[in-house]
Structure 1
Amino acid sequence: MKAIVFETPQTVSLREIEMPTVPQGWALIKISHVGICGTDLNIYAGSHPRAKAPLVMGHECSGTIVSGHPTLPEGTPVTINPLLTCGTCIPCTTGQSHVCESLKLVGIDCDGGMAEYAAAPVERVVPLPEGLSFAMGALVEPVAVAMHAVRQGGYIPGDHAVVFGAGTIGLCVALALRSSGASQVTIVETNELRLQKARELGFSTIHPQQENVREIILAQTKGTGSDFVFDCAGHHSVLPLLTEIVKVRGNIVIVAAYKKPAEVHLLQGMFKELTMRFVRVYTDKDFELAAQLLVQQRDFERIITHTLPPEEAKKGFELLTSHTDAVKVMYQFSSDR
């Protein structure tokens, strides 16, 4: 079968490889669409601590059942919840398996969806809602990240929110906030092309290198500061702004993964009695709600900026590692739907 394989840092190629081994309790899936995630970019850069070459990346995917599922017949449209948990640690046995002490993911710790076929545990295979396209089906995973951030962050409908970062996760968080009844969502981003996408989606935007973020947010909120601030950028320059622009007793939600330790203005956090919450991946409920939201809110489809054939494997990663308008880049392996 055809597969996009990570070989060495900065090198991916389309190769013919063997069909995936399907262990007992796993299902075989014919892949339609698969997205490139920020984690895939870390693997591509050679900086992911667990991913080892050669590897078929991809944990944001959709397709159809081929075999091995006890209840879903062949041809059923599905996506994969890629979280692989141990089932025995304290988080797993207390209903918090998304923070399993040895959490692994399809597409990172084993081969994933950047191929014509992929395998996944049957309990991780999720049927797509009726009418949801395969392209949208491959967005369920990143939207689940956004749903988890909004829900676990304790967002209250009607509140003002600021989102740092207009990549896939930032835009998904912004759209999830809008769907949750946000009074206003402002997106802060340095990439003008991504800012334009945010404006096209109807969001207020700020370019922090050209505008004063604090002054604009205080003007929007009549001097009080934002109720919620979501950091989807993961850049050290963002952290000083988080505590500046959030209101007294406001909420900061860290969604992005910081690769290196970064400084936080803790004294300001104390004086304002702020809440800072960290979130990781998603629960099964978040994943279910994400699929439902994608049926109801079609604006998410506008995040998909490029859909490429697998033969353009290298181009997909180049789009996301250079200054382009790319947000969500997908490969399409099948055109069944």
Structure 2
Amino acid sequence: MKSVVYEGPKTVSFQDRPKPTFTKGWALIKTSHAGICGSDLSIYAGVHPRAEAPLVMGHEFSGTIEEGHPTLKRGTRVTVNPLLRCGECHPCKTGQSHVCENLKLVGIDCDGGFGEYVKAPINCIVPLPDNLPMRLGALIEPFAVAVHAVRQGKYLPGDNVVVFGAGTIGLCVALTLKSYGATNVTVVEPNERRLAKAKELGFKNINPTTKELKEKILEATSGVGADFVFDCAGHPSVVESLTEIVKVRGNIIIVAMYKQPPKVDMREGMFKELSMKFVRVYTDKDFEIAIELLSNNPEFEKIITHYLRPEEAGKGFDLLTTQTDAVKVMYDFT
């Protein structure tokens, strides 16, 4: 089968690999579309703590049932909630399995959707609505991340928001906020090409390398500061700004994964009595909401900037590791 394979740090290749073999409790899916995620970039860089080469990456994907599902017939359109939970730890037994102490993912801890065929646990396979295109089915996972961040952050319609990062997750968060009634969302991003995408989607935008960020946010909020700040960038240069631009008793939601522990100004957090919330992946309910969200907002497809054939394996990662306009890059296996 056609596959995009991680072979080692900064090396991916197109290969013809055998189809996955049958595993009890799992079903085989014929892949349609699969998106490159930030986690895939960590694997590509050789810094992911669990992923081992050779690996077929990809945990954001859609496809059709090929065989092995007890209730869904062959050809049924599906996506996969890629979280592999142990079911035995305290979080799993108390309804918090998205923070399972032994959490693994399809596409990281086993082969994923960057292959023409992929197998997934039956209980992780989710049928897609008939009105949802397969390419949008591959966006459900990142939108589930955004839905979880917004819901756990307890955003209230009418509050002003700053989103750091105009990558996939940042734009998914901004679009989710918009669908929740947010009318005052500012996206902060140093890449001018990505800023253009944020502007195209209807958001205010600031390049912090060319404009004084704190001054602009205070100016836009009558000197008060932002009600909510979502960190979807995960870059050390952002950390100082988080506590500076949020209002007194404001809310900071950390969505991005930091590669190294950052330094946070705890004093300013105390003086302003800030709330800082950390979020991770999504619950099953968040995944369901993401499906509904994409079904009702087909214009969210605009964050997909590139469709590639699997034969163009390396190009996808080149686009996302250099200064380009790429946001969501997808491999098309149809």
Alignment TM-score, normalising by the size of structure 2: 0.99
Report the Cα distance in structure 1 between the residues aligned to 2:201 and 2:22, rounded to whole angstroms: 41
Task: State the SS of the aligned residue for 1:295.
Answer: helix
Q: Which residue of 2 aligns with 1:86?
A: 86
Report the Cα distance in structure 1 between the residues aligned to 2:161 and 2:22, rounded to whole angstroms: 44
Shift of 1:5: 0.6
Shift of 1:67: 1.1
Q: Which residue of 2 aligns with 1:295?
A: 295
Instruction: Give CA deviations for 1:245-288 in whole Å, capped at 9, x if unaligned.
Output: 11111100000000101111110000110000000000000000
Q: Which residue of 2 aligns with 1:113?
A: 113
Q: Which residue of 2 aligns with 1:235?
A: 235
Report the Cα distance in structure 1 between the residues aligned to 2:138 and 2:61, rounded to whole angstroms: 4
Report the Cα distance in structure 2 between the residues aligned to 1:158 and 1:78, rounded to whole angstroms: 35
Q: Which residue of 1 aligns with 2:200?
A: 200
Q: Which residue of 1 aligns with 2:265?
A: 265
Report the Cα distance in structure 2 between the residues aligned to 1:107 and 1:164, rounded to whole angstroms: 27
Instruction: Give CA deviations for 1:195-214 in whole Å, capped at 9, x if unaligned.
Output: 00000001000000100111
Instruction: Give CA deviations for 1:274-329 in whole Å, capped at 9, x if unaligned.
Output: 00000000000000000100011123100000000111011011000111000000
Q: Which residue of 2 aligns with 1:133?
A: 133
Q: How many residues align?
A: 334
Q: Which residue of 1 aligns with 2:42?
A: 42
Instruction: Give CA deviations for 1:145-171 in whole Å, capped at 9, x if unaligned.
Output: 000000011111111000000000000
Shift of 1:72: 1.1
Q: Which residue of 2 aligns with 1:316?
A: 316
Kindly report which structure 2 residues correspond to 1:9-158, keeping only aligned pairs within 5 A, or say none: 9-158=9-158
Report the Cα distance in structure 2 between the residues aligned to 1:22 and 1:326, rounded to whole angstroms: 36
Retained in 2: the 8 A contact 1:163–1:187?
yes
Q: Structure 1: 5+ residue runs without aligned partners? A: none
Report the Cα distance in structure 1 between the residues aligned to 2:62 and 2:229, rounded to whole angstroms: 31
Report the Cα distance in structure 2 between the residues aligned to 1:22 and 1:112, rounded to whole angstroms: 15
Shift of 1:21: 2.0
Kindly report which structure 2 residues correspond to 1:241-260, keeping only aligned pairs within 5 A, or say none: 241-260=241-260
Report the Cα distance in structure 1 between the residues aligned to 2:8 and 2:254, rounded to whole angstroms: 31
Kindly report which structure 2 residues correspond to 1:155-234, keeping only aligned pairs within 5 A, or say none: 155-234=155-234
Shift of 1:7: 0.5
RMSD: 0.7
Task: State the SS of the aligned residue for 2:112.
Answer: coil
AA at the equivalent of 1:120: A
Shift of 1:61: 0.2
Instruction: Give CA deviations for 1:138-197 in whole Å, capped at 9, x if unaligned.
Output: 000000000000001111111100000000000000000011111300000000000000
AA at the equivalent of 2:309: P
AA at the equivalent of 1:265: D
Which stretch of the first structure deviates more once superposed, 66-75 or 256-265? 66-75
AA at the equivalent of 1:156: L
Retained in 2: the 8 A contact 1:3–1:116?
yes
Shift of 1:84: 0.1
Report the Cα distance in structure 2 between the residues aligned to 1:30 and 1:186, rounded to whole angstroms: 39
Task: State the SS of the aligned residue for 2:21.
Answer: coil
Q: Give 4+ residue runs of structure 1 displaced > 4 Å after superposition.
A: none
Q: Structure 2: 5+ residue runs without aligned partners? A: none
